[in-house]
Amino acid sequence: MQLVDLEPKLGEEEIRELLEACVQYDPELLDRAVEEYRSDPELSILGLDVEDEIVGLLGIRSRQDNTVLIRHLYVKPEVRGNGLGRAQLLELISLRNPDHIIAEVEEESVDFFRNVGFTIVSFKEEDGQEKFRCTYSVHEQVEDEG
């Protein structure tokens, strides 16, 4: 199991389908996301390769302050519940060694992030919709476990 760079494979149907699920099956948002991953050097799109099959997707933005922002995190429905979302985050930590990982998500995703050790804070977007900022401090967690 390893994270692999998906940017060269963004034209492949299998990879587009994974990313499409992340953007609520909106073709316009899919095209925009593909273009952003191809053109923005701060963005990376990675896939979780398990036995030569991409079963998960992780889209991130790396900041200069050694923080990683999660833009997209997805695991195929048929393999959920096997720790693969958590595995993607652990692989990310191993590859990038960030100080912090941050995701801004809607309510249906909060339990996943809480269950893998993120701190959750509610906030309202400009349109009044409630979102949740999920923050994981990598080095604090390592010190707590050590």
What single string gives the DSSP state of each residue in 32-101? Answer: HHHHHHHH-TTEEEEEEEETTEEEEEEEEEE-TTSEEEEEEEEE-GGGTTSSHHHHHHHHHHHHH--SEE
Distance CA 124, CA 133 (A): 10
**What is the pairing mode between strands 100-105 and 67-75?**
parallel
Structural domain span for residue 133: 2-145
CATH code of the domain in which 51 resides: 3.40.630.30
Is the pTM here over 0.85, yes or no?
A: yes
Which tokens in the block code for residue 58? 């992780």
**Looking at the 3D structure of the chain, how many domains does it have?**
1
Contact assessment for residue 116 and residue 82, using Cβ atoms and an 8 Å cutoff: no
Return the closest-CA partner of residue 103 out of 94, 95, 114.
114
User: pLDDT tens digits for the chain (146 residues)?
Assistant: 899 999 999 999 999 999 999 998 999 999 999 999 999 999 999 999 999 999 999 999 999 999 999 999 999 999 999 999 999 999 999 999 999 999 999 998 999 999 999 999 998 877 888 999 999 999 875 455 55
